[in-house]
């Protein structure tokens, strides 16, 4: 059976990447940041007449991030790369989780009234239009009133 060129390329790329780290979240972030820095430096070069030192520094930083991102992707030292990615995720996850929770609250705002327990600060969700309700916190069992 004859294999086409695309299949041969995919097969050889798969064998090349076997045992390598691949693109994790930190590598993706580095590549996207390098692309953003290259765009900003191109804008700075086009706006300024002559040489612009800040645009040159941005270009060098972008190339450095690009090289580091690809180095991480093709690295065979999986333990070090996973530890680096874990440290990155420890920083990024709380920030992204905060934005995710704010977006969830914004979506639920139309149909639900959100209350916070005065004792343990747990968020409780009550459907809108129920009037004055007596709420019992499922975590600490304290009772309080609220208007939905």
pLDDT exceeds cutoff 70 at 79: yes
Judge contact between 21 and 75, C-beta under 8 A.
Answer: yes
> pLDDT confidence of 147, banded at 50, 70, 90?
confident
Judge contact between 116 and 122, C-beta under 8 A.
Answer: yes
Residue 114: CB atoms within 10 Å? 14
pLDDT in tens, 94-110: 999 999 999 998 998 88
Contacts of 42 (CB under 8 A, 6+ apart): 55
pLDDT of residue 50: 65
pLDDT in tens, 46-68: 887 667 888 889 999 999 999 99
pLDDT of residue 2: 62
Judge contact between 26 and 70, C-beta under 8 A.
Answer: no
Burial of 69 (0-12, 13-18, 19+ CB in 10 A): buried
pLDDT exceeds cutoff 60 at 1: no
d(CA 31, CA 69): 6
pLDDT in tens, 6-38: 888 888 877 877 877 888 999 999 999 999 999
Handedness of CA 56, 59, 61, 63 (dihedral sign): negative
């Amino acid at each position: 059976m004859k294999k086409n060129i695309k299949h041969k390329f995919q097969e050889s790329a798969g064998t090349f990447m076997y045992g390598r780290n691949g693109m994790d979240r930190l590598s993706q972030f580095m590549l996207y940041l390098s692309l953003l820095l290259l765009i900003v430096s191109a804008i700075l070069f086009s706006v300024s007449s002559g040489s612009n030192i800040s645009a040159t520094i941005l270009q060098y930083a972008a190339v450095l991030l690009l090289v580091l991102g690809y180095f991480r992707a093709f690295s065979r030292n999986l333990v070090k790369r996973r530890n680096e990615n874990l440290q990155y995720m420890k920083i990024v996850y709380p920030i992204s989780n905060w934005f995710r929770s704010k977006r969830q609250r914004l979506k639920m705002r139309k149909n639900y009234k959100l209350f916070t327990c005065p004792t343990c600060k747990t968020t409780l969700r009550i459907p809108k239009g129920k009037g004055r309700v007596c709420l019992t916190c499922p975590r600490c069992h304290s009772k309080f009133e609220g208007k939905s």
